[in-house]
């Protein structure tokens, strides 16, 4: 474990910024709510922008509402090193998810500037817009926009208040008409590094303060709508009902059983949002809409579970006289971190006296999309009891410091060596 004198970043400055950002959209004592493209999100972005400028970067917001800070290197034509994460949150979120990746990256750049180190290439720090996806039911918007991977009709997606993403972007201060003039240059990004809390219990179980990510599970997001027939709860016999909520309940139970079929496998399935119509105590539910989140690092296993689940939906619908539609919101294959970046992380960690374990990521991150355009690597920071997407989310200052120090040393190594980006 490195001594305090070996830590080169300014840990107290980093912690102060984490706590200051947590005051924006604060809920309760420790929670935050900064939904993408909300006024709280904009306030947070403006604060982070001021810290980018304080660190010596030129900062601006692109048409997709990504905040980008640029530190010029000695060879501006070289592929850039990109660092970052996001500052939007879940509606019932914690202080550290995404935020430490952005603020840690700013600390990396500020330390380089204060040490008088000029990188060979430009370094860009990005706070990507709408990583979480909770407001418009599809995440990674900013990073997909930046890299030319948006899908049709994404701007027409609505939140629970009927506001479209297009309207929200305009309210935020961005003009979707500018999308067409934003051209992603293939090969411009040499590598992407992301610091993030683990959001799981593995590091804590290993008594390890930080870990090196091996890959990100592929998420499949579906929205299912089931339609039956409304009737009086007191007069329609059970055998004659077309109860959409009953059908939904059977599918939820089946999903839970399907993902548990292979003991020890990292397959996970979740129904996290559900709406019922007409939503009355004494009316048989006619329509139910619910989400399915299915993830696995093994794509063949995930596909097999999906096929079984679709069969369950068909059989349950037939049994209860229901009709249904399924909308695919997100479908990504697992993506693995670049071996040369993992090697660099391990080597720099060893110089710090650390031997971080490798572990996979169940949650997706902005790195998932970046993996399609450049090599990427991730550092995980231990979090208390693996709690995340919850105000009780917690990562200690000491662990965050170690993760940021490893990010700093690895970024310095990559950005200051000629030919630092390896195949």
Quote the DSSP letter at residue 173. T
- Max CA distance (Å), the chain: 79
- CA dihedral 377→381→382→383, nearest 10 degrees, is -120
Which CATH superfamily is 4-217+334-416 part of?
A: Zn peptidases (3.40.630.10)
What torsion do the CA atoms of 227, 231, 235, 237 make, to the nearest 10 degrees?
A: -20
What is the gyration radius of the CA atoms in the chain, in angstroms?
23
CATH 3.40.50.920 describes domain 218-331: no
Q: Strands, DSSP E only, in 278-384?
A: 287-296, 323-331, 335-336, 358-361, 375-381
- Report phi then psi at 324, rounded to 5: -155, 155
The tens digit of pLDDT for each residue in 161-173 reads 999 999 999 999 9
Looking at residue 360, the DSSP 8-state letter turns out to be E
Helix extents (H) in 231-298: 244-258
The pLDDT score that the predictor gives to residue 356 is 98
- The pLDDT, as a whole number, for residue 418 is 62
Estimate to the nearest angstrom the gap between the alpha carbon of 287 and the chain centroid.
31
Residue labelled with tokens 């701007």: 155
Q: Give Cα separations from 3 to 7, 8, 351 (angstroms).
A: 7, 10, 12
Pairing of the two strands 80-86 and 189-197 = parallel
β-pair type (274-277, 80-86): unpaired
Domain chopping of the chain, boundaries: 4-217+334-416, 218-331
**Closest Cα partner for 184 from 36, 369, 414?**
369
Exposure of 106 by Cβ count < 10 A (0-12 exposed, 13-18 middle, 19+ buried)? buried
What DSSP string describes 107-163? HHHHHHHHTTPPPSS-EEEEEES-SS-TTTS---HHHHHHTT-PPTTGGG-B-TTS-
- Look at residue 423 in the predicted model and tell me its pLDDT: 52
Q: Which of these, 357, 410, 378, lies nearest to 8 by C-alpha position?
A: 410
Local structure of 82: helix, strand or coil: strand
- Please list the alpha-helical segments (H only) found in 352-396: 366-370
Residue whose structure tokens are 């037939």: 318
pLDDT of residue 183: 80
Q: Under 8 Å CB-to-CB from 239, ≥6 apart: which residues?
A: none
Question: Would you state the pLDDT for residue 3?
Answer: 74
Burial 187-206 (b: 16+ CB within 10 A, else e): eebbbbbbbbbbbbebbbee
> Rounded to an integer, what distance in angstroms lies between the CA atom of residue 114 and that of residue 125?
17
pLDDT given for residue 383 in this prediction: 96
In tens digits, the chain (423 residues) has pLDDT values of 777 778 999 999 999 999 999 999 999 999 999 999 999 999 999 999 999 999 999 999 999 999 999 999 999 899 999 999 999 999 999 999 999 999 999 999 999 999 999 999 999 999 999 999 999 989 999 999 999 999 889 999 999 999 999 999 999 999 999 998 888 888 999 999 999 999 999 999 999 999 999 999 988 999 999 999 999 999 999 999 999 999 999 999 999 999 999 998 989 999 999 999 999 999 999 999 999 999 999 999 999 999 999 999 999 999 999 999 999 988 989 999 999 999 999 999 999 999 999 999 988 899 999 999 999 999 999 999 999 999 999 999 999 999 999 999 999 999 998 656 665
């Amino acid at each position: 474990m490195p001594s305090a004198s070996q830590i080169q970043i300014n840990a107290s400055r980093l912690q102060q910024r984490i706590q200051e950002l947590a005051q924006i959209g604060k809920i309760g004592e420790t929670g935050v709510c900064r939904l993408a493209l909300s006024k709280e999100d904009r306030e947070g972005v403006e604060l982070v922008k001021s810290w980018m400028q304080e660190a010596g970067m030129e900062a601006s917001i692109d048409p997709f509402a990504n905040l980008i800070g640029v530190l010029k290197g000695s060879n501006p034509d070289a592929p850039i090193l990109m660092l970052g994460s996001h500052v939007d949150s879940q509606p019932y979120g914690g202080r550290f998810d995404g935020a430490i990746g952005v603020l840690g990256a700013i600390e990396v750049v500020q330390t380089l500037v204060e040490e008088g180190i000029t990188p060979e290439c430009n370094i860009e720090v990005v706070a990507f817009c709408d990583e979480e996806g909770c407001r418009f039911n599809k995440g990674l918007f900013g990073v997909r926009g930046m890299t030319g991977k948006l899908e049709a009709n994404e701007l027409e997606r609505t939140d629970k208040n009927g506001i479209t993403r297009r309207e929200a972007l305009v309210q935020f201060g961005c003009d979707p008409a500018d999308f067409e003039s934003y051209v992603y240059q293939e090969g411009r990004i040499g590598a992407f590094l992301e610091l993030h809390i683990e959001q799981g219990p593995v590091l804590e179980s290993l008594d390890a303060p930080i870990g090196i990510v091996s890959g990100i599970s592929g998420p499949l997001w579906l929205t299912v709508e089931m339609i039956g027939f409304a009737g009086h709860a007191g007069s329609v016999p059970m055998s004659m009902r077309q109860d959409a909520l009953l059908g939904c309940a059977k599918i939820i139970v089946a999903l839970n059983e399907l993902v548990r079929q292979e003991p020890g496998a990292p397959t996970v399935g979740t129904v996290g949002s559900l709406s019922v119509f007409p939503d009355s105590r004494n009316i048989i539910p006619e329509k139910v809409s619910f989400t399915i989140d299915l993830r696995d690092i093994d794509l063949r296993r995930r596909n097999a579970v999906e096929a079984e689940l679709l069969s369950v939906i068909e059989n349950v619908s037939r049994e209860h006289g229901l009709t249904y539609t399924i909308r695919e919101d997100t479908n990504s294959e697992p993506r693995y971190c670049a071996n040369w970046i993992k090697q660099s992380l391990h080597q720099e960690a060893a110089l710090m006296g650390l031997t971080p374990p490798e572990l996979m990521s169940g949650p997706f991150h902005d790195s998932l999309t970046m993996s399609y355009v450049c090599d990427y690597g991730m550092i995980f920071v231990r979090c208390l009891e693996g709690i995340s997407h919850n105000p009780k989310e917690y990562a200690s200052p000491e662990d965050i410091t170690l993760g940021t120090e490893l990010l700093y040393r690895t970024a310095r190594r990559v950005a200051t060596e000629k030919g630092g980006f390896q195949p």
